[in-house]
Structure 1
Amino acid sequence: MNRSIEALATATRRRREQTESAVEKALKAARKTRTPVSVTSIARAAGVSTDFIYRHPVLRPQVEALRRARRDAVPGDAAHAPDAEAAASTLVRRLTQQLAADRRKHREKVANCRPLSLRHTANCSPCDGTCRGEAAALRAISTVSSLPGMTTLQDLAARLDRVEAELALHRLAHDYCVSADHRDPVRWKAIWTADAVWETSSDQIFTGNEAIRAAVEQQWQAFPIMQHASANHTVEIDGAAATGRSDVVVLAQLPDHRWIAGGGTYEDEYRCEGGIWRIARRRVVRPFDLAPLAPSDGPVYVDEPVPANPGDADELYQSGGRTCRLPEGAG
């Protein structure tokens, strides 16, 4: 067996054993408590993905058995449940009443202001244009108030802020791939917070912007070409913090021109600093590696410039912004 394949297999087996051990420890700790148990809670405590537990033929039955046992058990404070439900119902009722009152006051204010739009015909001679501006503002307020779920301009501003934040986070995910594949150290540094954590595996964790920069530079030295393809990026925003998840497939060329393929899922934490979203933590879960592929029959990228002599340019051509050398015997 090829040594590189053996190394990949050994690394994969070690990661699986470490992940299984983490889940078993989380189960052992959960058995000592009386809190509800689920696949999600065990996965979170173990620091693994829920998919790993769902697909495991041994660990999943253990988690489900513990979950059923907790569900069937009668909690010691069950007698207080009606009081808690009653308190929650009262709170909801009060908030609903307050919301209805606020909406009624808003409608009354709008109704009281609308007669201003009649000033142009009733009170303006000659008209200085002020009433038209007031009428336009009132029409804008009325339009916003009529939108589904909208009561104030602040609501509209909040929605726009969320849309802009989501677009910025999607762009951030793209910048990660672009800066890694195109070897752009400036863009790479800009996407991380100063105290960011990059966890490429359970035994490869880089903390701080400088350590993360050094780690990607090692990848650039090991792989002449890298290509990331990420998809399914979803985010949850909470003020100036957010979490995200995306799937990725990576192709990388080895120094001997063979290719390896791998991928996994990114679980992210983001932070907005000075109006700019950055990655505060990125963790790779569900990683997979495939055996090396055959050497590429395509052109080998070179760093030499295109020759000034047109007669020497037969063996070189431009492709994707790079200078490429045709394979031997290519026409």
Structure 2
Amino acid sequence: MHVTKQNTFSRVMRYSLTAGAMVMAAIMILAGAPAWAEGEKPAPTTTADPAVPLNEFDLLLRPLTKDDLKVEAEGWLGLLKEHATRVSRNKIDAMKAEGDAKTNLLAEATQLQEQQTALMDRVQAVVEELRKKGGEVDVYDKYLKSVSGVKVDVSDAGGSWTLLTGWLNSPEGGLRWAKNALMFLLTLIAFKILSKILGTATRRAVARFSGVSELLKDFLVSSIRKLTFVVGLVVALSMLEVNIGPFLAAIGATGFILGFALQGTLSNFAAGLMILLYRPYDIGDFVNVAGTSGTVSAMSLVSTTLKADNQVVTIPNGSIWGGIITNGTAQKPAGPA
């Protein structure tokens, strides 16, 4: 009986120790899981060469997925943060230094600023690629905005002037923006000339068609010129390193809002185009439109002006095109000329 109790007690102790060991192992596994997960976190693949040319860098980013780009963005952001810390420490040391030591630190600050600008270009490239593929980029945009630019301390005129002149002579600073501004102006001039050439070509082309309204000719020529110049403006803005994606989105949103707000005007505009195209009447004709009779004295894309009984009546083109048009002067063709 005594032996049996000892055996039972031994089995209970073995089971207890085994269970306790299993529980401890489970706790250690759970506690170590985050560390293992962190150890398996993928590392960025494009940060090995921080000075990689931007055209090559864009090609490296193109095949990456959204998740891959998040890793790359974090990696480049870490490099930028580390470098921005060096820039800040350099400025702090320059504020405390005097004489030649300060001059050397300010010269070093210019070089560090150039390097930071180059890093920011690459971070911006990753952010733009991530934006295209549906990633969240607000945090990166805000950080880039916070560390960009040259901060000038007005209380230190000499140091500020050294920093400013250094930035103006820097390939990644003033020289870069001078080149961008020159390209902006040259692009605008080139597209301005191109718009005139295309406008002249359009006028010559429509002049070959007989019976086309002069107002319609002017409208087509003006539209071609303005559209060409708007395209040139967008291209020129890209020369200033302006992100034209949000700009184009804003134009689209503005167009939608204006289109909704100006439905009546756009309806008159469309009716004016139809009147110019089909020409049911022309200037000098005596017509009856929208319940009003008179002689056509002026036409535009949104309205027609009649003179009747010493009165001048302006009628929206939408009201004219949607009703019966009676021309008492001459018979007009039923279709486009």
Higher strand share: 1
TM-score w.r.t. length of structure 1:
0.21
Asked which structure has the greater CA Rg, the reply is 2
TM-score w.r.t. length of structure 2:
0.21
Higher helix share: 2
